[in-house]
Amino acid sequence: MQYTTLGQTGLAVSRLAFGAMTFTSGDRSMGSIYKTEADVADALVGQALDAGVNFFDTADAYASGQSETILGQVLKARRSEVVIATKVGFRTGAALGQAGLSRRHILWSVDESLKRLGTDWIDVYIVHKEDPFTPLEETLSALDAVVRSGKVRYIGFSNWSAWKVAAALEIQKANGLTPFTHGQMNYSLLGRDIERDILPMMQRYGLGLTVWSPLASGFLSGKYTRETLGDPDNRYSGFDILPFDKEQGFALVERMRVIAAAHGASVAQVAIAWLLAKRAVSSVLLGASKPHQLADNLGAVELTLDEGDLAGLDAATEPARVYPNWFIDNLVDQQQKTAFSR
């Protein structure tokens, strides 16, 4: 296993993390996702621990909190050895206030997560989404309070826009509030949107990056075909939320098969290894629900893609430039050409 520190902290985390979104003890509201019962969850976590994984991720909204409960139970004997991240922000109940990032909801939610996880502290507490109804200052003050109380060690964000993170960091700095350590964002060969603005912002502020859905909800495992993509027993039947062109995706997978064959690896390992080769990436969350899937994904840490492989994958999946990025890039290109022509 490879390890790194998270952002500018001293918190050591494995570069492959385990995501517990699939854990459930009966909630089938998202049947294509919530499908891993406690006995299988225990085996998967043990498998991850044996491979050197020390970083585990869940959220209060996963399976009505059942994911937190199961993860806490299976990690109880190893609590001092692992880093647990959980999240707040999505709706967790019918009451009007049981959602969002208000001070009231954050202070209530952190206590509920602690109970479900069966622990005295949360290593990394992540705001799961933006809240357009709560002042940013209120959210940041509440996050600072849960850190100062000793209930949380570090804080992060997930699914936030670049401008809001930058604004938050400046508010935190100006007011002596606990700063964000990292962002947990969607990133894969089929979803490189964060390269436009999120990554430059993160690098400016020294933030770490953890990645969710590195296989684009399993598409980059190479197991899907045009005929099986809609089968009711696979994830895409109930969780097709990632906006990428499926035909381009199938073409990419065929290219990845060639690279995988040359390295004696799997398509999924190529997808994860591409992410691990990115300096900005701290850790990649693995969401496998079966032991053989997890074993394959964990094997990605042993795969080193050569410069030709990386350049080819980069070129094949380069995201379209949007304004003002293309305008800025064009000006820089013109200035460089002028400078070198003198």
| 62 catalytically annotated | yes
Taking the C-alpha atoms of residue 176 and residue 196, their distance in angstroms, rounded to an integer, is 29
Angle, helices 267-276/246-263, rounded to nearest 10 degrees? 90
Among 76, 287, 57, which Cα is nearest to 182's?
Answer: 57
In the Cβ-directed half-sphere of 5, how many Cα atoms lie within 13 Å? 6
Q: Determine the 3-state secondary structure of 77 from DSSP.
A: helix
Pairing of strands 3-5, 12-14: antiparallel
Inter-residue contact 157 to 168 (CB < 8 Å)? yes
- DSSP letter string over 171-208? HHHHHTPPPEEEEEEE-BTTB-GGGTTHHHHHHHHT-E
| Marked catalytic residue, from 62, 187, 205, 236 | 62
Q: Is-cis flag, bond preceding 324, omega within 30?
A: yes
Taking the C-alpha atoms of residue 181 and residue 157, their distance in angstroms, rounded to an integer, is 8
Q: Which residues are catalytic?
A: 62
